[in-house]
Amino acid sequence: MLKVLKINSDGSVDLLGKQGATWELLLALTDDSNVPVDLTGYLVRGQIRKTYKSDVAYSFTCNIIDAQNGKFTISMSATDSALIPSADDKNPKHPDNTYVYDIELVDSLGKVTRILEGNLYLDPEVTKT
């Protein structure tokens, strides 16, 4: 499970992810007039890192599902979300359970635009395979 936890005053969006669960979040990109942004010809990509400078990254699977209406999903398999390290503390806001993420659009010419960013809080799982 992946859900929006908080929309911050700076425009960043904090997410909560349940470690070891399948994550999927449907998003719709609109312009300042609330008109859907046509994503035809774009690629959506995103990563999670412990800090902005961390070498280790965990990638979201991003799929455009309705390009003309600006709709796409960000997701991660249960197997992949289980690989993200967590603290020995159930509190998702514990520093060792706090990550950063961003989501970017890449156009057909390679121009990259960051469309979403924030903290990702990891809710540690108990059941392991």
- pLDDT recorded at residue 128: 83
Specify whether the CB–CB gap between 39 and 72 falls below 8 A.
yes
The type of residue at 2 is L
CA distances from 19 to 9, 30, 66, 114 (A): 27, 30, 28, 25
3-state secondary structure (DSSP) of residue 75: strand
- pLDDT recorded at residue 49: 98
Specify whether the CB–CB gap between 74 and 61 falls below 8 A.
yes
What domains sit in the chain, N to C, each tagged with a CATH number?
Answer: 2-123 (2.60.40.10)
Its pTM stands at 0.93
- pLDDT recorded at residue 60: 98
Residues of the chain with pLDDT under 70: none
- Cα–Cα–Cα angle for 123, 124, 127, nearest 5°? 130
- pLDDT recorded at residue 1: 86
The tokens for 109 are: 């010419």
